[in-house]
Amino acid sequence: MLDIQHISKTFYPGTVNEKKAITDLSLHVEKGDFISIIGANGAGKSTLFNCIAGVFLTDSGTIMLDGEDITMVPEYIRSRKIGRIFQNPVLGTAPDMSIGENLALACGKGGWLSTVSKKEKLAFREKLASLDMCLEDRMDHPVGLLSGGQRQVIALIMSTYNPPSLLMLDEHTAALDPATSEKVLTLTQDIVAENQLTCLMITHNMQSALSLGNRTLMMDQGNIIYDVKGPEREKTTVSDLMTLFKERSGKALDNDRMLLEK
């Protein structure tokens, strides 16, 4: 489904600011995989997402999606098959447009409610009502007036309205309070399961990394240092992850955010 072979990415090569962000990384993702990705700041997690999404091109290696080589394909074309939600709720929606207009944008109507059929508008309301957040009665409200959690929910619906081949969640609950974060994660699991999506999710919460989805990856210094699934993953604990990180990276985990959220 997604096959990444030996990709590397270096920023500012040949300068004093040279930074190797991804080094000879390979990853195979099966259709239907829900993979949680953890790692300290600077491990290369978001850079990996940017490489997959086409925000910038890799220096070497290949990226295949659904059997198609997308290594050199522009970001706007990849976005037809790849959905992505960011940590910042502001980035996933159009703030000056209403909830209804954002959903019209997501379903391919260019944000024009006048071109949306009554049937589609009813579908909008039903999707929003299923969230139990009273958003179905605020269809004409600008998205910019919603809370962060509400905006992330709208972004999640928009990214999956036409189910993508790959959904990438870049710490999409990190900016939310614990209660809202839990609700958004539950909704995420429901949408992924309902649409049988293939999903990659970056998280700092090590417990979530072990309990959500079917596979966990650990990254450090631009590469994958641990990949676990199945029975082995089921018996892996947060303490095990911390020990494995030290063994495979040669240093203790010192990321305060990860330690506080374990």
Indicate whether 13 belongs to any domain. no
The pLDDT of residue 260 is 46
What's the residue count for the chain?
262
**Residue 133 within a domain:** yes
Residue 150 CA: distances (Å) to CA of 76, 117, 244, 262: 26, 25, 36, 25
For residue 244, the SS3 value is helix
Choice between 175 and 259, residue whose per-residue pLDDT is larger: 175
Which structural domain range is residue 120 located in?
Answer: 93-147+154-159
Q: Is residue 51 part of a domain?
A: no
What stretch of H or E contains 168? strand 166-170
29-61: pLDDT as tens digits? 999 999 999 998 899 999 999 999 999 999 999
| pLDDT averaged over every residue in the chain | 91
pLDDT at 248 over 90: no
The pLDDT assigned to 110 comes to 78
Contact 258, 42 (CB under 8 A): no
Decide if 122 is inside a domain: yes
Examine residue 102 and state whether it is found in any structural domain, yes or no: yes
* pLDDT at 99 exceeding the cut of 90: yes
Number of continuous H segments (helices) and E segments (strands) in the chain: 10, 10
Evaluate whether residue 138 is within a structural domain.
yes
Burial class (CB in 10 A: 0-12, 13-18, 19+), 8: middle
Q: Determine the straight-line distance between the first and last CA of the chain, rounded to whole angstroms.
A: 31
Q: What is the pLDDT of residues 66-95, one digit of tens each?
A: 999 999 999 999 999 999 999 988 888 999
Taking the CA atoms of the chain, what radius of gyration do you get in angstroms? 19
> What pTM does this model have?
0.91
Per-residue pLDDT for 259 more than 70?
no
